[in-house]
C-alpha cells in the first residue's frame, strides 16, 4: 500500500495543477539505431545519469522516448469514445465517502486504494482512487468528485519496468513515464519533450542538472 501511495504522488508531482498555485520483466534491449556500439544505456539497476557522457544521456532519452511513444500511442481520444469508455467514472458517485475517508487518512478499503493531495499540508484539494478489480487505471478527482485526470498503466504493471500515460478528463495526453524501478523514472511531456530523470527524491534534466526535489519519495 505504501508503494501505491508513493506512486500516485510521483505521478501527481510535476503533472497535475488542481489549485491556483499549484508509475521481473525481461531486461530492456539496447537500441541500435544511431547509437555507437560502445555506449551502454543506463536503465536497469544503476543510476549513473551524473557520470555518463551527454551522448550517452541523449541515447537513453531517445531509447525511452521510443518505448513510450509508439505508433499506437493515443495523443487525443475522440471525445465520444473517451466519455463512453469512462462514463461511469466522470463523476465519482461515492465522492462524499471517498473524501471523508481520505481526509481521515484511510488509504485502503476492501475494494479500493486511496490517496489524497493537499494544499499547504492541510487542505485536501484532490484525491485518487484505484479500484482493486482494475489496478491498471487510477482516477484523480477534485474535491467535489469531478474527474480531472486518468493514469493508464501498461499491461505488465505492477512489475518493473512498466509505463504510465496520464490523460486529462477530455482525453488529451498530458505526460508519459517509464518506470525502471521504485527509485528510477524517466518522464516526458505529451509532445515527447524530455522532462527529467527521477532518482529517489531528485529530478535531473537532460544535462544532469538537478531541477526538482520531491518530499514524497
pLDDT tens by residue, 53-62: 999 999 999 9
Rounded to an integer, what distance in angstroms lies between the CA atom of residue 77 and that of residue 169?
Answer: 10
Give the global pTM.
0.75
Nearest to 143 by CA among 157, 128, 133, 158: 128
Mean pLDDT over residues 198-213, rounded?
94
Phi, psi (5° rounding) for residue 8? -65, -40
Please state, in angstroms and as integers, the Cα–Cα distance from residue 190 to each residue in 12, 105, 149, 167, 173, following that order.
Answer: 15, 33, 14, 9, 6
pLDDT tens by residue, 3-18: 444 444 444 433 434 3
- Residues counted in the chain: 217
Which residues, in sequence order, are CB contacts of 159 under 8 Å at separation 6+?
24, 25
Dihedral angle over CA of 164, 168, 171, 177, nearest 10: -20
Check pLDDT > 80 for residue 102. Answer: yes
pLDDT at 47: 87
Amino acid at each position: 500500500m505504501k508503494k501505491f501511495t508513493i506512486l500516485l504522488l510521483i505521478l501527481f508531482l510535476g503533472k497535475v495543477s488542481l489549485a491556483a498555485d499549484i508509475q521481473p520483466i525481461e531486461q530492456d534491449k539496447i537500441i541500435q539505431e544511431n547509437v555507437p556500439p560502445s555506449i551502454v544505456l543506463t536503465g536497469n539497476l544503476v543510476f549513473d545519469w551524473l557520470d555518463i557522457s551527454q551522448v550517452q544521456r541523449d541515447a537513453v532519452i531517445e531509447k525511452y522516448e521510443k518505448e513510450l511513444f509508439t505508433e499506437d500511442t493515443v495523443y487525443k481520444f475522440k471525445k465520444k469514445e473517451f466519455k463512453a469508455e469512462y462514463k461511469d467514472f466522470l463523476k465519482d458517485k461515492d465522492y462524499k465517502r471517498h473524501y471523508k475517508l481520505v481526509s481521515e487518512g484511510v488509504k485502503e478499503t476492501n475494494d479500493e486504494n486511496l490517496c489524497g493531495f493537499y494544499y499547504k499540508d492541510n487542505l485536501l484539494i484532490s484525491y485518487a482512487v484505484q479500484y482493486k478489480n482494475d489496478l491498471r487505471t487510477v482516477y484523480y478527482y477534485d474535491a467535489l468528485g469531478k474527474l480531472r485526470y486518468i493514469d493508464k498503466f501498461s499491461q505488465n504493471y505492477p512489475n518493473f519496468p512498466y509505463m504510465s500515460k496520464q490523460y486529462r478528463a477530455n482525453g488529451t495526453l498530458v505526460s508519459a513515464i517509464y518506470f525502471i524501478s521504485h527509485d528510477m523514472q524517466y518522464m516526458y511531456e505529451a509532445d515527447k519533450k524530455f522532462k527529467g530523470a527521477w532518482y529517489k527524491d531528485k529530478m535531473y534534466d537532460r544535462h544532469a542538472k538537478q531541477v526538482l526535489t520531491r518530499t514524497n519519495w
